[in-house]
Amino acid sequence: MSQPNEHLMLALDVDSGLKAVEWVKRLKPFISWYKVGSRLFLAEGPHIIDHIHKSGGKVFLDLKFYDIPNTVAQAGVEASRMGVEMFNVHALGGIEMMKACREACADFSIQQHVPLPRILAVTLLTSHSKIMVEKEMGLPGPLLLHSIRLARMAKEAGLDGIITSALELPVMKKEFGSDWRYIVPGIRPSWSDHNDQKRVETPQEAMAQGADFLVIGRPILTAQNPEETVQKIILEISPKIV
């Protein structure tokens, strides 16, 4: 293996920086990207980003910003200052919020000569049910239509792509094309446990449908031999990488 895989993202769903860094060091020959969610970020603090970078990983900061435009713009600038390669916001925050964030990060990147992180949008959460969206949010109609509408807002705001379920990926890809980025969680190799994920796809299927990044946590974190598991996944998706 010459290069770590650019399409796999390990979800660092662990409770300490020590464990997270151990995973990065262990798997960096195979995986380039590491997702830091609120649990790890809150348990360890912002220096976890630095540790991951120093251990050789790229960071997707999964904090799903959602607030007034100015606050999200400032949060985006702080994420840029930390040097994360990617972070996300909720499309539900609106076009103005997403645009403000994108523009503030772009200005900061130019002024400080730092790379501009990719900014991704979360549409609906997979935990949102049709009944909940209708009754609690007051949005009737199919969930997919709401997801497409939210994704369209993200595109209009100039964001770089979306986090999307494997189930919605083909429709999103058709709607928004290949020059956008599609990050897909809920991935389960055919041989692994589904855990609490209801709608899953195999790495091979998701890549075949045009995913750019596969977010995988437990199938790797709880594997008896994580290195072997990752290599099996890489082997499985290799023919699908163009």
Assign 161 to helix, strand or coil: strand
Q: How near is the Cβ of 217 to ligand C5P at its closest, in Å?
A: 3
Q: How near is the Cβ of 186 to ligand C5P at its closest, in Å?
A: 5
Nearer to ligand C5P, 126 or 231 (CB): 126
Pairing of strands 181-184, 213-216: parallel
> Closest residue to ligand C5P, Cβ-based?
217
Active-site residue, from 25, 64, 155, 240: 64
- Quick check: 73 and 103 in contact, CB under 8 A? yes
Nearer to ligand C5P, 64 or 155 (CB): 64
d(CA 3, CA 241): 14
For this structure, is 135 an active site residue?
Answer: no
Q: How near is the Cβ of 111 to ligand C5P at its closest, in Å?
A: 32
**Radius of gyration, CA atoms only, the chain:** 17
Nearer to ligand C5P, 108 or 213 (CB): 213
Encode 8-17: b = buried (16+ Cβ within 10 Å), e = exposed.
Answer: bbbbbebeeb
Residues near ligand C5P (CB under 6 A): 11, 13, 37, 125-126, 163, 165, 185-186, 195, 197, 215-218
Tell me which amino acid residue 20 is: A
Q: Which residues are catalytic?
A: 64
